[in-house]
Structure 1
Amino acid sequence: MNPSPGPVRGSLTDPHRTSGSTALLHVHLKPAAEEAVRTGHPWVFDQGIRKQNRPGTAGELAALYDRRNRFLGLGLYDPHSPLRVRLLHQGTPVRVDDAWWRERLQKAATRRAALFDSQTTGYRLVHGESDGWPGLVLDRYGPVLVLKLYTTAWLPWLESLQSWITGLFHPRNLVLRLSRNIQSLAAQRGAPADGTVLHGPPLDQPVPFLESGLTFEADVLRGQKTGFFLDQRENRRKVESLAAGRAVLNLFSYSGGFSIYAARGGAVSVTDLDLNPHALEAARHHFALNRPQFPNPRTTHHTIRADAFEWLNRAPAASHDLVVVDPPALARQAAERTAALRAYRHLVRQAARLVRAGGILVACSCTAHLRPAEFFELVRETLRHTRTRWRELCLTTQPPDHPAAFPEAEYLKAIYLQAANQPAKP
């Protein structure tokens, strides 16, 4: 990549440009978009653009300007998405070169340096926009790193990304994952496919890693997200602290993370329910791997393959002491909000019916289109219409390795409530 002049000081690293190529893409914003950029919001949508000097290509650096032609910032252009520019820098011009990118990656790593010890080797190293890498996440699973891209804007930068990541972290392997919405576009561009090992020897087995001293395995090539739900670590630890002597039900269990922590916390039984048979097989494997750490040698593990929504309708009442409801995102776009609200109410109402007197309900949401305060109030309001009195124990949001630097990034939330020992009076 060769430096070329632009509205930034010094060289401009851009994989699309060579000496004598087309001028840097200039994007002029409408007033509302100007204000959003000035206040630090990292997204510019297509309807926020007033004009640009020419069509842009995926991954091209776009210089942003206001109505008076004043420089606002610099971002990655994506012509394939309504989210047209993802901001890299806001404010005065900067020198953007290889050293700038490497320093930005180092900052993300330093931010997490004191968060984990040798007992936790699975965590997020880069969390998208909140770490200055919009539309990109980087997760660690022991010696293996997984790079996931959510925009085609990063595809032309893959060679540089590989160099920066391997140069700083020295992983045994670097695996590429692509979000579903860009996989066909990546194929059209001749980019590596989802699950490609960009660096290191071939991988044909799940990757083991530690979380709070427990052993899990991540399917980094084909699993959901980057292979594991790392963002629920703190909630899993909380469930462990509440599980002693309880019969635990883990709805939408995936590979059983909540159940393994509950078993180490002294649960008498744990039940994983999921529709995916491969996830349930992984849950059984994780239970066997970690059994030596369980204080109660008689703790039992059950798996149920079923649709949670349907199963809850016929499940026996007052059958568990701790119920975890952790569904997938029920609204992936704003248009699905109304249906998601209805689904959450149904899940909370039916799951609450299963909780015994003195038991605990943990309700989680990873839907970005539902704000934390709104979700918490939805759960409270739903439970007020049950015959049980509920005491709120705590609220949680995202863990420190998944920071949220702007409102839309606040996707994860959970509320813990305990049922009274006696039903509410009619």
Structure 2
Amino acid sequence: MTSSPEQNKSGKPPRLRMRLTAAAEGHIRRGHPWVYESSVREQNREGESGELAVIYDKQDRFLAVGLYDPNSPLRLRVLHAGSPLTLDTAWWKRHLENAVQRRASLFGPETTGYRLINGESDGWPGLVLDRYASTLVLKLYTASWLPHLPMILGLLTERFQETLPGLRVVLRLSRNMQEYAAQQGVRDGQAVVGDDPEGPIIFEEYGLKFEADTVRGQKTGFFLDQRENRRIVGSMVEKLVQQADGRRMLNAFAYSGGFSLAAARAGAAEVVSLDISRHALESSERNFALNHDLTGVARCFHRPVMADVFSWLGEASGEPFDLIVLDPPSLARREIEREGAIRAYGRLSESAIARLRPGGVLMAASCSAHVSPEEFFEVVRVAARRSRRGWKELRTTRHPPDHHATFAEAEYLKAIYLQLD
């Protein structure tokens, strides 16, 4: 229920106050960062996008404060819960520094591409910040951050202008807010600090060079969340090469060839990058060219193949491989697509296993949040059982440390490694 606004003595409307259902109160106390419209039991006035709203419990005690979004079913995103405090400049500086320091010991100088702020899990709901060399990409998933954009850019400039010479900040916006953002004078892909990029940004990942299309690329320009799986794939190729020369690797849904390069550096004799997008495969070839000074990459035969992965893998007389990576885009963007996604993961896994040589390794990954890790791992295991080949599970992985997830809805990434006899 919403009451009409009352003006205080200064002429400003009173603080936006909300009360929630008992269930929603419980969720907030347990650390959940979202409040949906259906959970709002009482609100003292209409609010504006980006306004700070305070939640009070049924005893009229402070519960939390967050960003209000009147145009979204996700009505409030929690910034702080617990004891009352003032979200002043000093608080915001500490808030940014906390996220930065969580990554301080994770990467050496040979890695210049990683996540600095991972949305809700770092206390910045609906906001992601990625680093690519001296370029930061700020992605917003809610319009409620737009009124605070000048403050955020000031914080980023102050914090990084000395450590990242030539600092640039590129703004990326989710599709559902681009029209509204344009009305506010900002656009997707705009450099809001520094000059617009003249082309892809080159960064490093464990010594491999990659290009990131920070203006138009998927996510913020690259799939940084698969960094550790790329490292693991490289280590597995090294082990396979120690056993025999001439190892062949297939990178299905290759995009810009991250897994392909990891395998090539590790000693794979041939790598096939399979993707339906010509643009993606061209990017993979440019990434190989960037790393041609590395011995393994120079020796590896890289073969881009533009085709539908499901059809190409399903060919009965297809060529065999020693390691196959299955890293499709999300196959279940909505809950109603979950069952179909599970079946698709099963078909992909069965087709890939049929292409594996004895002793070969399958790495299957999923970024579908609506498919649980348990469901995904089991569907790949079932595919291995159906092959009637001996197999063993080498390991499973989840989110890398710079993409940590602190609540269920933030968990999406999982991968499983199987070796087939």
Query: TM-score with structure 1 length normalisation?
Result: 0.91
Aligned to 1:404: 405
SS at match of 1:314: coil
Q: Per-residue deviation at 1:219?
A: 0.6
Question: For 1:186, which of 178, 181, 184 is the aligned residue?
Answer: 181
Question: For 2:29, which of 38, 41, 54 is the aligned residue?
Answer: 38
The aligned runs of 1:120-135 (5 Å cut-off) are 120-135=111-126
Q: Indicate if the aligned counterparts of 2:37 and 2:74 stay in contact, CA closer than 8 A.
A: yes
Aligned to 1:3: none
Superposed CA offset, 1:237-280 (max 9, x none): 00001113421100111100000010001001101111221111
Matched to 1:378, the amino acid is V
More deviation in 307-316 or 40-49?
307-316
Aligned to 2:206: 212
Aligned to 2:4: none
The aligned runs of 1:282-321 (5 Å cut-off) are 282-295=283-296, 297-314=298-315, 316-317=317-318, 319-321=320-322
Q: Indicate if the aligned counterparts of 1:138 and 1:146 stay in contact, CA closer than 8 A.
A: yes
CA–CA distance in structure 2, aligned partners of residues 416 and 216 of structure 1: 25
Decide whether aligned partners of structure 1 residues 80 and 285 sit closer, same or farther in structure 2, where only a CA change above 3 A counts: same
Aligned to 2:271: 270
Aligned to 1:177: 172
CA–CA distance in structure 1, aligned partners of residues 340 and 60 of structure 2: 43
Q: Indicate if the aligned counterparts of 1:345 and 1:378 stay in contact, CA closer than 8 A.
A: yes
CA–CA distance in structure 2, aligned partners of residues 18 and 387 of structure 1: 78
Decide whether aligned partners of structure 1 residues 323 and 22 sit closer, same or farther in structure 2, where only a CA change above 3 A counts: same
Q: Per-residue deviation at 1:19?
A: 5.7
Aligned Cα root-mean-square deviation (Å):
1.7
Superposed CA offset, 1:45-102 (max 9, x none): 1111112112222111111122332221011112222211111011110121111111
More deviation in 285-294 or 149-158?
285-294
Aligned to 1:359: 360
Superposed CA offset, 1:286-314 (max 9, x none): 11221221337532000111221222222
Superposed CA offset, 1:188-240 (max 9, x none): x3241110000112312101111101111111011110111111110000000
SS at match of 1:304: strand
Q: Per-residue deviation at 1:335?
A: 2.5
Q: Indicate if the aligned counterparts of 2:115 and 2:131 stay in contact, CA closer than 8 A.
A: yes
Matched to 2:175, the amino acid is R
Q: Indicate if the aligned counterparts of 1:318 and 1:357 stay in contact, CA closer than 8 A.
A: no
Aligned to 1:253: 254
Gaps of 5+ in 2: 1-7
Matched to 1:116, the amino acid is F
Matched to 2:205, the amino acid is E
Aligned to 2:158: 167
SS at match of 2:416: strand
Q: Indicate if the aligned counterparts of 2:190 and 2:196 stay in contact, CA closer than 8 A.
A: no
Q: Indicate if the aligned counterparts of 2:261 and 2:297 stay in contact, CA closer than 8 A.
A: no
The aligned runs of 1:25-424 (5 Å cut-off) are 25-170=16-161, 171=164, 172-187=167-182, 189-243=183-237, 244=241, 245=245, 246-295=247-296, 297-314=298-315, 316-317=317-318, 319-420=320-421
SS at match of 1:88: strand
Matched to 1:184, the amino acid is E
Number of equivalences: 403
Q: Indicate if the aligned counterparts of 2:395 and 2:416 stay in contact, CA closer than 8 A.
A: yes
Q: Indicate if the aligned counterparts of 2:349 and 2:380 stay in contact, CA closer than 8 A.
A: yes
CA–CA distance in structure 2, aligned partners of residues 294 and 45 of structure 1: 54
SS at match of 2:148: helix
CA–CA distance in structure 2, aligned partners of residues 349 and 382 of structure 1: 5
CA–CA distance in structure 1, aligned partners of residues 60 and 348 of structure 2: 51
Matched to 2:249, the amino acid is V
Matched to 2:90, the amino acid is A
Q: Per-residue deviation at 1:320?
A: 0.9
Q: Indicate if the aligned counterparts of 2:202 and 2:211 stay in contact, CA closer than 8 A.
A: yes
CA–CA distance in structure 2, aligned partners of residues 274 and 236 of structure 1: 17
Matched to 1:175, the amino acid is V
Query: TM-score with structure 2 length normalisation?
Result: 0.92
SS at match of 2:349: helix
SS at match of 1:74: strand
SS at match of 2:84: coil
Q: Indicate if the aligned counterparts of 1:249 and 1:324 stay in contact, CA closer than 8 A.
A: yes
CA–CA distance in structure 2, aligned partners of residues 142 and 101 of structure 1: 24
Decide whether aligned partners of structure 1 residues 296 and 231 sit closer, same or farther in structure 2, where only a CA change above 3 A counts: closer
Gaps of 5+ in 1: 1-16, 421-426
Q: Indicate if the aligned counterparts of 1:30 and 1:66 stay in contact, CA closer than 8 A.
A: no
Matched to 1:73, the amino acid is A
Superposed CA offset, 1:119-170 (max 9, x none): 0011111110111101101000101100001111111111111111111111
Matched to 2:172, the amino acid is R
Aligned to 1:5: none
